[in-house]
A and B are shown apart, each in its own frame.
Chain A
Amino acid sequence: MGNTAPYKVLTQTELSELQENTNLSQKQIISLFKRFEALDKDDTGIITYDKLFSIPELAMNPLVLRVIGLFDPKEPDPEKIQFNFTQFIQTLSVFSEKASNEEKIRFAFQSYDVSNSGFIDSDNMKKILKFFVGDCLNEKQISEIIQKTFEEYDKEKNGKISFEDFQKIIDIDDICDKMTILI
């Protein structure tokens, strides 16, 4: 899926190239490389849905399907997701301390924008809820939840939340705090 061939070993040039394109230090990239290799159990240079799912704590996350989906936003089916080391690094780079607030908020927005359409509408909400509950709630119940959420947040009453709207709604510090992890 990626543009580059799988790395067997990181060379210095590759390392500094990755460092320029991401918010990560060389040390962080190297430790992520080790992690990538550990997750890539059959050594193909590509991580798939199955490989990620073997992390029990990730499997316990209610949004596991969305988390996996975010590694390749263009792929609608999370089970078909696969990505190489570059994509892995680029996605995780957003969660670095050095990443800008803009990047983080975009990513948080992206988390809701399942269809990669540029705005959050009821369809996206529905997909998020489906990740949470699968078939355990019926259509009616889901649409009820969505309706309530929109009543609370969609101030322009147009059934869509754009990125600009999203920025107004959210507590920016809080979200950016949340979107920072230890790498």
Chain B
Amino acid sequence: MTNLPLTNTQINASLNSKEDKLESLIGHLTRDDKEEIQKTFEDRMPEKLISNLSIKSTNGDFFEAAKFVSEGMQVIVDDQFSRAFKKKNYKPWNFEKYLYPVWILGVLFRYLVLFPLRVLIWVGGFFLIAVIFIIGSLILMKNKQKKLKFQTYMIKSWALLCFVSWSAVVRYHGTIPPKTTNNGKSLVFVANHTTLNDVVLLFRRQPCSIVGQRHSGFVGFLQNYVFAALDPVWFERWETKDRQSAIRKIKNRLNSGNVPLLLFPEGTCVNNEYCVMFKKGAFELDATIIPIAIKYNKLFANAYWNSREQSFLMHTLSLWASWAVIADVYFFPPQNKLPDETSTQFANRVKAMICRKAHLINCNADGYLKHVKLNENFIKHRQSQMANFLKKRFNLKEEENQNENQNQNENEKEKEKEKENIQNNNNNSQSEKNLKNLKNQNVLQNKKKITKSQSEIVLNSKKEK
């Protein structure tokens, strides 16, 4: 809302430096990681591809090239995937003569009064809570249950402190779920991800242990000193070994049943208008899942944290300088994987629930594609899908590896066979009218043949006579 317009060169310069950072990031990716990303993308692709395919030659667009080309162009003009990570632009409302002075006053008030006040409140409150937290934990060291209760309470007050510093108005809908299921296993909270502050919104109601990526800087500080009380599971996204041990940790945690686990299956922050592909990891745990939809109102603050453009500290500071954070949080009833459901289907079902409630556009691209490019295997995979489709569509027969060891005679024979096949297939693929016409033609031709042969017979008999 208050960003000054940057010149193009400035924007480009900042983008370039970010791009360099990304390249160094990609350097950390192991081959396994890349393959996994590729594979998940390939898994999801066929449904989308096939739903787009009809390759019917009814309107002269033989292979639907025009359709695919135009779809391709549309995506070049604007694609959903990059839109999912763009801040939504609002029409400036302050360029009216009578509104502008008021707006200026508002800016001055936000930056000169609200901002310092909020920073003071947050920092002061944070130290106060930290001191009470440490002393309380030391006193209650021997009584584990009491200690956990106390710590949970303190974390809730920390969330309240954050709320106060943002002037947050958060409405909770649906029943707040219990901590564990009946059989003593922890619940798994699954939510859409807009900013790290999502966590605070949930902590206010139900502190839970976060499963997420390890950060550095300000976020790292919060991770190490604030969230640490709730036994979070941190892992380096780019290290396979760590991830496997994280999965083991998660499974152990589920059985202990102390606090629910919180997962963001998108794996990245999205702008709260779209929802990118859910990673199926969370849905393979065999746990009961509570879907949570979080929707921010962007009128008084932009809650989206674009990690490529902004550090988390800057993001938090900009929230403190905004009017208020307004959000709705919807808790859904517990969901379990149905017996005949794959984990991918389960993930998609939960995602659809969240999207509907939070009015997000359901986009099926993997958030990691921000960092990773699809390679040639992907294209090959898609081509084989297309080939299978065309084989069915045109009734082609599998004839592989035969070409090499064949004589010319055999080839010729096959060609004849093929022609027969083609004729048969044509009959199948053409419309009923054509079929009737063809049949009529055949009948006519047969009749002609018959009459010819009859006349020949007659001729012959005449000759004999």
Contacts and interface: CB of A to CB of B under 8 A. Distances in A.
Interface of A: 8-9, 32, 35, 37-39, 41-43, 52-64, 66-67, 70, 91-92, 95, 107-108, 111-112, 125, 128-129, 132-138, 140-141, 144-145, 147-149, 151-153, 166, 169-171, 174-175, 178-183
Top 5 closest A-B pairs, CB basis?
A170-B60, A67-B72, A136-B387, A169-B60, A134-B383
A144 B394 contact: yes
Interface in B4-54: 8-9, 12, 15-16, 19, 41, 45, 48-49
Given A56-B81, A133-B387, A134-B380, 11 more contacts: A37-B12, A38-B82, A56-B366, A57-B75, A63-B72, A95-B70, A95-B77, A133-B383, A133-B384, A134-B383, A178-B61
A178 B67 contact: yes
25 contacts: A8-B8, A32-B77, A39-B76, A41-B15, A59-B379, A61-B71, A63-B68, A66-B69, A92-B77, A107-B69, A108-B61, A108-B69, A132-B387, A133-B386, A133-B390, A136-B383, A138-B400, A138-B403, A141-B391, A147-B422, A148-B425, A174-B59, A175-B66, A179-B66, A181-B74
Contact of B69 (A35, A111, A125, A169): A111
Contacts of B66: 108, 111, 175, 178-179
A149 B62 contact: yes
Given A37-B8, A92-B73, A178-B70, A57 B80 contact: yes
Nearest to B374: A59
Contacts of A132: 63, 383, 386-387, 390
A15 B416 CA distance: 61
A148 B422 contact: yes
B382 interface: yes
A62 B46 CA distance: 11
Contact of A175 (B19, B61, B71): B61
Contacts of A92: 73, 76-77
A137 B60 contact: no
Describe A's contact surface by its main secondary structure. helix
B79 interface: yes
Nearest to A59: B374
Contacts of A178: 61, 66-67, 70
Contact of A170 (B61, B365, B378): B61
A74 to B, nearest CB: 17
A128 B72 contact: no
A32 B396 CA distance: 43
B77 A181 contact: yes
B369 interface: yes
B77 A182 contact: yes
A112 B62 contact: yes
A91 B69 CA distance: 12
A137 B62 CA distance: 18
A137 B387 contact: yes
A148 B65 contact: no
A136 B79 contact: no
B429 interface: yes
B396 A141 contact: yes
A60 B45 contact: yes
A17 to B, nearest CB: 19
Nearest to B62: A149
B64 to A, nearest CB: 9
Contacts of A66: 65, 68-69, 72
Interface string B373-415: 1100011101110110011001010011001000000000000
A107 B65 CA distance: 11
B425 A141 contact: no
Given A53-B373, A141-B399, A149-B57, A63 B394 contact: no
A42 to B, nearest CB: 7
B246 to A, nearest CB: 26
Contacts of B76: 35, 39, 52, 55, 58, 67, 92
